[in-house]
Chain A
Amino acid sequence: MAHLRPIRALGTGALIVVAACGGDAPDRPELPPLAVSSDVPFCQSVAQAVNAYHAEQSAAHPRPADPRYGGTVVVAGGGDFRGGLNALTTGDQTDQETELHLLHVTLTRFAADRTPEPYLAESWTLEDDGSGITFRLRDDVMWHDGQPVTAEDVVFTYRRAMDPATGFLNVGWFQFYDADAVEALDDHTVRFAFTPHAEVMDPFSNMAIMPQHLLGDVPPAEMGGHPFGTDCPVGAGPYVFEAYRPGDQWVLRANPAFPEDLGGRPFLDRYVYRVIPSSSTRAGELAAGGVDVALGLEPVDAEAVAARDGVRLAAFDSRSFSFIGWNPRLPGLSDVRVRRALTMALDREALLETLRGEYGTRVETGVPDFHWAYDPDLQGPPHDPEGARAMLDEAGWTDRDGDGVRENQAGDELRFDLVTNSNTERETIARIMADELGDVGVAFDLQVVDNQTLGARLGNPTNRDFGSFILGFAPDFNINERDFFHSSSDATGYGWSALNDPELDRLLDTLPRIRDRDQARPLWAEYQQRIVELQPYTYLFFSQRLNGLNADLAGVEMDLRGELINVPAWYWNPETN
């Protein structure tokens, strides 16, 4: 989920680079030949081709003598990539980063200053009137099965992504694209056509290119459950798929044939992603040496990591914020007074302090304080339980039967499902919510599911039966909340809290078309004000991302762009290893 555009000055992200050092080559044995295997028919021939090509390329490009090469890194994260590494069907953050930066390639990628730089596309020309862009592709990037990556693959990928039948979550990127927007001019040239709009370049760094020669025959609607994603994903990126043990780990192998200009063969021979749902267990495994990188730690675990020898903490701003979403289709929650009262009943300041300590910032909308469009004068609803009670009374919800829960005239209780995913932070929010909102007479039935299920449940436009949910979301650099709040988004994946507000619709329609920021800023302020008034979400906080790292792991860069952006440049410090 992401577009991109410079946000604040560089430096919001922590840049962790340890200087490369010489030294004796540590003993890191070569791995046995790649052996992808699968009992799924589709994958058998694919696996064969990948194994054969990898063996051939490994022979042709032996591991350089540089002591930084070799070794395995084990990265632990909270969620499994159930949908597999198919970029057309995923929505999870770490999943997407693994696709963008490891297994697959994108047309462009973000440089440290968050401007696009060449990747699969070696150059591009944006047409003067802003109605089209032409990319010139490299000719030396190969799929992991030995086929060349061509313009056809790019056309295939974008057409599938735009096809509603595929169910690609970020279709909003293509809002201004023409119906047949993508065409291959020749084997290595692609042109996109669209109506002029702001932040044109964003999708190109966020959409991983998928192999047309393997997926071309798969109907869009079958893309979701296709074994390609889980049993034999084939990309063209610096890492090659080796194995997937469901619920446990993903294993990737260095791609010896990755073009030198793009970084060449990655330093680390093997990249293992382990699924460890609990933050404290991830931190424990890091300390114990069972994993080398622990992603997304909670503050208490992060502090334990920071205090320990041999490991270090990487804390950096992320684009991810947490919020409580309301379903405005329900009788109680359709009333803006009720939504406002719910926000007012919650002590969000204390909540932030309790859960994140110094590693988070308050927000009132999805526009973070480091974004250019942020309105510093914005005031959110205050913490005011008394006011909340009064507002609920006024909205017609009073405790008529004296059981502590409010009812409306018809006798229906002000009681909602509260769905969230299983992690300590979210479950603690739920506990605090039940307490504080219980105090003003609102009740919740908590339901805890896992990441994927939460996403699938909320993102299903045909069955929005939830009442409320706690979610974290990482918006694109280019913020466009049309898919979330526009009245037309009711039937789309992200439209879980879609509102029907003409004023908001107008702003959402206008904002993405304004290409000049100074001109857009006042409208952005208006937009944020409107969001605060309507309270589709109760916004909680932006989180700093807290990752624990083995201190010997060098070359790691993690910042607002992501935490896996330069995995191919990670290496084990030869001095200390």
Chain B
Amino acid sequence: MLSYAIRRLAVAVVLAFGVATVCFALVWFAPGDERSDLLLSGRGAVVDTGPEPGLVEAYGDWVGSLLRGDLGTSERSGNVARWLLARLPHTLALSVSGLVLAVVFGVGVGVLQAARAGTVLDRLLTLGTVVAYSAPAFWVGILLGGAFIHKPMELGMEPLFPLTGVAPPGGATSLLDYIPYLVLPALTLGIVLGAGIARYTRAAMLEALAQDYVRSARARGLSEMRVLFRHGLRTALLPLISLLGVYLPVLLTGAVFVETVFSRTGIGLAMMEAILGQDLQVLMGGALMFGFAAVVGNLIADLLYGWADPRIGDAVRG
């Protein structure tokens, strides 16, 4: 297990390095002098005096400051790392609650469908999950906002949730204050991601339930519930952990859109503002943060998987 963990960690470091390199390349090869100037000035390299640093030098500079946790300084937003870290909690809260909802929805619906396989309910839910699975996060967000906020308001009622923001104006006084602002955004991510998980869970459950030992368990007269959860879900859930690792980029990307739809001042919205403000430092800083989050999330999923199923250990995934 330990060597497996170390190996996964090494892979994660290489991945993170790759993410940083991709970001660097995006900026370096972007058209326009200003962009490379920005890259350099943000890194503290002197552009005005002396010759312009070459690719290698600039890249070394960039990696060096990254390792120090320095995302550069932007004229518009000041210290980029400080700027983004102030917004990170809102994105984290959204992603984590979205993920939790997705797993709850997905596994719940999937198990229900497997238990009622072939019934009308199963068919309807299948159709429902295909639709939810096909819908982009921003459209689901708009629909939810329409249903719970704007339609009630059009009818002269109070909206059920706040329209925008992350906390009451003037600041939250307790953690509970944040909840109403989180409901619809998290629900959006939960639905979009949960649909995929449900499709997976249903298939995996049916496959597990078709195994011989499950049949014999049934034959032994074990209750259906017990069969479902003991034998079906357990077998089905294990690969779900690594599936979550795959879904992570979807989750993070979804967060960008959901933050835009609900004007949540997280990192995704900061990136969108940075685009309008031509604030390259913040844009790349945000992209880096999302990239690193995906790498870390994948690592966690891998480690969890290894922990949950020791057989995996050193055997697979060289």
Q: Is there direct touching of A and B in the complex, by C-beta distance under 8 Å?
A: yes
A-side interface residues toward B, CB under 8 Å?
Answer: 39, 72, 74, 82, 225, 227, 230, 243, 245-249, 251, 270, 272, 274, 276-277, 281, 284-285, 287-291, 309, 421-422, 448-450, 452-453, 457
Query: Shortest distance in angstroms between A290's beta carbon and chain B's nearest beta carbon?
Result: 6
- Taking the nearest CB of chain A, how far is it from the CB of B85, in angstroms? 11
Smallest beta-carbon distance B275→chain A, Å: 9
B residues near A243, Cβ cutoff 8 Å: 171
Say what secondary structure dominates the interface of chain B.
Answer: loop
Closest Cβ of chain A to B158, distance in Å, is: 7
Query: Is B149's beta carbon under 8 Å from chain A?
Result: yes
The reply to whether the CB of B31 lies closer than 8 angstroms to some CB of chain A is: no
Complex Cα gap A215–B159 (Å): 46
Contact indicator A251/B170 (Cβ below 8 Å): yes
Nearest CB in chain A to that of B77: its residue? A246
CB distance from A27 to the nearest CB of B (A): 16
Instruction: Please judge, given known A-B contacts A72-B169, A272-B170, whether A452 and B150 are in contact too, CB under 8 Å.
Output: no
Nearest CB of B to A326, in Å: 22
Complexed CA–CA distance, A290 and B278 (Å): 30
- Which residues does chain B contribute within 8 Å of A288, judged by CB atoms? 149, 153, 158-159, 162-163
Which residue from A245, A270, A291, A449 sits with its C-beta under 8 Å from B265?
Answer: A245
Contact B149 A247 (CB under 8 A): no
Q: Within the assembled complex, what's the spacing in Å between the Cα atoms of A196 and B163? A: 54
Docked pose: A112 CA to B270 CA in angstroms: 41
**Do residues A449 and B269 form an inter-chain contact, with CB atoms below 8 A?**
no
B163 touches A285 (CB 8 A): yes
Shortest CB–CB separation between residue A23 and chain B, in angstroms? Answer: 25
- Chain B residues with Cβ under 8 A from A82's Cβ? 76-77, 277
B249 close to A (CB within 8 Å):
no
- Residue in chain B with minimal CB distance to A272: B169
B276 touches A449 (CB 8 A): yes
- Can you list 6 contacts pairing A with B, beta carbon distance less than 8 Å? A82-B277, A243-B171, A277-B263, A288-B163, A452-B76, A452-B277
- Chain B residue numbers with a CB within 8 Å of A274 are 165, 169
Distance (whole angstroms) from the CB of B87 to the closest CB of chain A = 8
Q: Is the CB of B277 within 8 A of A276?
A: no
Would you give the 0/1 interface string for B155-185, flagging 1 where the beta carbon is closer than 8 Å to chain A? 0101100111110011100000000000000
Task: Return B170 CB to nearest CB of chain A, in Å.
Answer: 5
Chain B 256-268 near chain A by CB (<8 Å), digits 1 or 0: 0000000101000
Instruction: Report yes or no: A449 in contact with B171, Cβ–Cβ below 8 A.
Output: no
Q: How far is the CB of B44 from chain A (nearest CB, A)?
A: 15
The interface residues of chain B lying within 8 Å CB-to-CB of A272 are 169-170
- For B269, the closest partner residue in chain A by CB is A247
Q: Are B278 and A449 in contact (CB under 8 A)?
A: yes
**Alpha-carbon distance between A290 and B150 when the two chains are bound, in angstroms:** 13
Asked if B70 is an interface residue, CB under 8 A from chain A, the answer is no
B163 and A284 within 8 A (CB)? yes
CA distance in complex: A243, B276 (Å): 24
**Nearest B-chain residue to A447, judged by Cβ:** B278
Tell whether, in the assembled complex, residue B170 and residue A450 are in contact, meaning their CB atoms are under 8 Å apart: no
Q: Is the CB of B163 within 8 A of A246?
A: no
Give B265's nearest chain A residue, CB to CB: A248
Q: A290-B165, A448-B276, A450-B273 are in contact. List 4 more A-B contacts (CB 8 A).
A: A245-B265, A277-B263, A284-B163, A288-B162
A276 to chain B: closest residue by CB? B164
Cβ contacts under 8 Å, A247 to chain B:
265, 269-270, 273
Q: Is B86 an interface residue, CB under 8 A from the partner?
A: yes
Which one, A291, A422, A448, A457, contacts B169 given CB within 8 A?
Answer: A291
B83 interface residue per 8 A CB criterion: yes
What B residues does A285 contact at CB under 8 A? 163-164
State in angstroms the CA–CA spacing of A531 and B120 once bound together.
73
Residues of A within 8 Å of B162, CB to CB, are 288, 290
Is B153 in contact with A422, judged by CB distance below 8 angstroms? no
Closest 8 CB pairs of A and B: A450-B276, A74-B169, A272-B169, A248-B265, A288-B159, A453-B277, A450-B277, A453-B278
Give residues of chain B (69-88) contacting chain A, Cβ–Cβ below 8 Å: 75-78, 82-83, 86
User: In the complex the two chains form, what is the Cα distance from A82 to B276 in whole Å?
Assistant: 13
B201 to chain A, nearest CB (A): 37
Judging by beta carbons under 8 Å apart, are B170 and A281 in contact? Answer: no
The interface centre, meaning the residue of B75, B86, B166, B169 with most chain A CB atoms within 10 A of its CB, is B169
B265 and A290 form a contact (CB under 8 A): no
* Closest residue of A by beta carbon distance from B82: A39
Q: List chain B residues, Cβ under 8 A from A291.
A: 169
The docked-state distance in angstroms from the alpha carbon of A248 to that of B169 is 9
Minimum distance in angstroms from A430 CB to a CB of chain B: 14
A523, B32: Cα distance in complex, Å: 45
Question: Which chain A residue lies CB-closest to B150?
Answer: A284
Is B169 a contact partner of A249 (Cβ separation < 8 A)?
yes
Closest residue on chain B to residue A72 by CB atoms? B170
User: In the complex, which residue of chain B has the Cβ closest to the Cβ of A248?
Assistant: B265
A residues less than 8 Å from B277 (CB atoms) = 82, 449-450, 452-453
CA distance A227 to B73 in the complex (A): 13
CB closest chain-B residue, reference A291: B169
Q: Which residues of B contact A284 (CB under 8 A)?
A: 149-150, 153, 163
User: What per-residue 1/0 map shows which CB atoms of B273-293 lie under 8 Å from chain A?
Assistant: 100111000000000000000
Most buried by A among B164, B270, B278: B164
Q: Which residues of A contact B158 (CB under 8 A)?
A: 288-289
Residue of A nearest to B153 (CB): A287
Chain B residue at minimal CB-CB distance from A278: B263
The residues of A that contact B265 with a CB separation of less than 8 Å are 245, 247-248
In the docked arrangement, what's the CA distance between A288 and B158, Å?
Answer: 6
Q: For residue A32, which residue of chain B has the nearest CB?
A: B173
A91 to B186, CA, bound (A): 38
Interface string of B89-100 (1 = CB under 8 A from A): 000000000000
Bound complex: CA A230 to CA B170 (Å): 17
Least CB distance from B38 to A in Å reads 13
Contact, CB under 8 Å: A422 / B86: no
Residue of A nearest to B161 (CB): A288
Residues of A within 8 A of B153 (CB): 284, 287-288
Q: When chains A and B are docked, how far (Å) is the Cα of A452 from the Cα of B149?
A: 31
Give, as a whole number of angstroms, the nearest-CB distance from A198 to chain B.
Answer: 37
Instruction: Kindly state the separation between the CA atoms of A291 and B164 in the bound complex, as whole angstroms.
Output: 10
Residues of B within 8 A of A452 (CB): 76, 277
Q: Are A281 and B276 in contact (CB under 8 A)?
A: no
| The one of A246, A309, A422 that contacts B83, using a Cβ cutoff of 8 Å | A246
Whole-angstrom distance between the Cβ of A223 and the nearest chain B Cβ: 13
| A143–B77 alpha-carbon span in the complex (Å) | 27
Chain B positions within 8 Å of A289 at CB level:
158
- Residues of B contacting A74 in the complex (Cβ-Cβ under 8 angstroms): 169-170
Q: Determine the distance from Cα of A260 to Cα of B96 in the docked complex, in whole angstroms.
A: 52
Q: Which residue of B lies closest to A74 (CB)?
A: B169
Roughly how many angstroms separate A227 CA and B82 CA in the complex, as a whole number?
14
Residue of A nearest to B75 (CB): A225
Least Cβ–Cβ distance between A225 and chain B, in angstroms: 6
Please measure, in the bound complex, the distance between the C-alpha atom of A243 and the C-alpha atom of B172, giving whole angstroms: 13
The distance from the CB of B205 to the nearest CB of chain A, in whole angstroms, is: 42
Is B263 touching A281 in the complex (CB atoms < 8 A)? yes
